[in-house]
Amino acid sequence: MQQSSFDDLRADVARRAEAALEALLSPQAQPGELARPARLIEAMRYAMLGGGKRLRPALVVAAARMFGAEGDGPLAAGLAIECVHGYSLIHDDLPAMDDDDLRRGRPTIHRAFDEATAILAGDALQTLAFETLASDRVHADPAVRVELVVTLARAAGLGGMAGGQMLDLAAEGRFGGAALVDADISRMQAMKTGALIEAAVEMGAIVGGAGSRARQALRRYARALGEAFQVADDLLDAEGAAAVVGKKTGKDAAAGKATLVAVHGVAGARRRLETLTEEATGALSGFGDEAEPLRSAARFVAARDR
Amino acid sequence: MQQSSFDDLRADVARRAEAALEALLSPQAQPGELARPARLIEAMRYAMLGGGKRLRPALVVAAARMFGAEGDGPLAAGLAIECVHGYSLIHDDLPAMDDDDLRRGRPTIHRAFDEATAILAGDALQTLAFETLASDRVHADPAVRVELVVTLARAAGLGGMAGGQMLDLAAEGRFGGAALVDADISRMQAMKTGALIEAAVEMGAIVGGAGSRARQALRRYARALGEAFQVADDLLDAEGAAAVVGKKTGKDAAAGKATLVAVHGVAGARRRLETLTEEATGALSGFGDEAEPLRSAARFVAARDR
């Protein structure tokens, strides 16, 4: 099925992801497991089920489909990245980190459960991500699976998402140190948010079996998309209504956090978002209709209101 | 080199592991990484370098060597499990978890740095474990590497180590619920500590290319070894001097924690430890001299004083 609108594809992926996550996060112990402690699996289910745009799984599926890969393999790879995304939200919300009480309009995990459960739920979600990605549901060829594991790990680890969160905390000045300049902000955001968005597209290309030229074009696309996502996020924080966004807004300014909006103002950030959207779609100029969902994804990311 | 004493092999592995971890935790950003934030990598190095018995890497190397696998592959697999072990110690020590100030005679990570850094250092160590395990330094065959990833993930996740820590917190009564009985304590300990010890032996068998009968025997060995390790740990907590053990002792009793020592007394726990050591060595009866290090490992675990 060829879908030209990314949002249609995303809605379809979201439905399939929900069912697949329901199975992955079964309260029943799986073969080789002694038990799944009730409170832990409950917290993991609370975090992962019943919501979320499933943007990252949709990007994996959309990129894989460009190369003819359909079926549940790309979706399973997408679930792995969604578990990493979910773990990072749980840990970022902790009192010692961003100290957030609200996420998608509901109490955060450490508020709905407790801090220890939140830490362990995040830890176990990261583990589950790599277990899922290494399983033969993702792809028959183990060489493809190890490449996916390495790609996700690089995007999530100290040189990617976790490192970006560390730089973000440092940007608040909590460890001392000088204010961030433009280049530092871009790098921090590229690591914290961009790396996982980029990895989603890259993993789609890997699981779809893309050639090296196609992968390079997709990498250019993904880099622009990842930055566009972060700029849109900063604009949402600066302009969005908490009721619509589903979490506290205006936090960045209150925390004196270095964002592109703080440095260049709302109008400057809007211009940057337009440039990035054009860069993203421009990187796909060598592809035909099969790239329409990803072109649409760039517009989706720029226009999202939550 | 055939080594009959596990402690000689362990000391040798510890030296090689130190050098390999030094490289793995380089402050320099690696290819594909935008940066390695200084404070984060410093915390990870503080946690992982300059100490530790390296019991788990030594078990991987000892088991792999039984099947003729030498070189750096088994060591690299051992480092992955050591990173998971290290991440679990950092997170278990957090104020919201066991709230420990001292580990191996030094301030714990959240005391030496801060809580946010400790959470992120643990997170990034888990990621690094899977990145390392999926790399071709471990084994040339990707099928072996994905099997290792799945084995480690199952041992570390919600049905293993993380789940066991959750049950351990529940055993303190912090979420309400009834006291643990004997079978619950054994299961909790099998998950919290045993699973990773078992995985070390299993991963050695996988990376060494053991056949299915050898793997079954090693699995029996590893199960007894894992439980012996936990009983020895409980005895250390009940009897050891903090100065020697390098962390606070007597904590379990103070916390009213359900352990085999609490239920059966010191003498009962000592008898159980002897039985388990015999079970472990008995499982190796079909092997010759090549299993001497693992036999020695069972005695090492039973006799350790820290």
Residue A103 forms beta bridges with which residues? A106
User: What's chain A's Rg over C-alpha atoms?
Assistant: 19
Residue B107 forms beta bridges with which residues? B102
Residue B128 lies in a domain: yes
Residue B116 lies in a domain: yes
Chain A contact for B114 (CB, 8 A cutoff): yes
Chain B contact for A41 (CB, 8 A cutoff): yes
Strands (E), chain A: 102-103, 106-107
Residue A55 lies in a domain: yes
Residue B190 lies in a domain: yes
Chain A contact for B27 (CB, 8 A cutoff): no
Q: pLDDT (tens digit, 0 to 9) for every residue of chain B, 306 residues total?
A: 445 589 999 999 999 999 999 999 999 998 878 889 999 999 999 999 987 899 999 999 999 999 999 889 999 999 999 999 999 999 999 999 999 999 988 999 999 999 999 999 999 999 999 999 999 999 999 999 999 999 999 999 999 999 999 998 988 888 877 666 677 888 888 899 899 999 999 999 999 999 999 999 999 999 999 999 989 988 988 886 555 556 666 666 666 666 778 778 899 999 999 999 999 999 999 999 999 999 999 998 888 765
Residue B172 lies in a domain: yes
Whether B162 sits inside 8 A of A41 (CB atoms) is no
What range does the domain containing A211 cover? 6-218
- How many residues are given for chain A? 306
Q: Which residue has the tokens 């589950």?
A: A128
Q: Pick B165's closest partner by Cβ from A33, A120, A166.
A: A120
Residue B254 lies in a domain: no
Chain B interface, best mutation among A98, A123, A174, by max B CB count within 10 A = A123
This model of the complex carries an ipTM of 0.94
Other C-beta atoms lying within 10 Å of the C-beta of residue B306: 13
Q: How far is B3 from chain A (nearest CA, A)?
A: 32
Q: From A176, A87, A72, A80, select the one nearest A123 (Cα to Cα).
A: A87
Q: Are B85 and B128 in contact (CB under 8 A)?
A: no
Residue B177 lies in a domain: yes
Contacts with A124 from chain B: Cβ below 8 Å: 157-158, 162-163
Q: The CATH number of the domain where A190 resides is what? A: 1.10.600.10
Ordered DSSP codes for B211-240: -HHHHHHHHHHHHHHHHHHHHHHHHHHHH-
Number of domains observed in the structure of chain A? 1
Residue A142 lies in a domain: yes
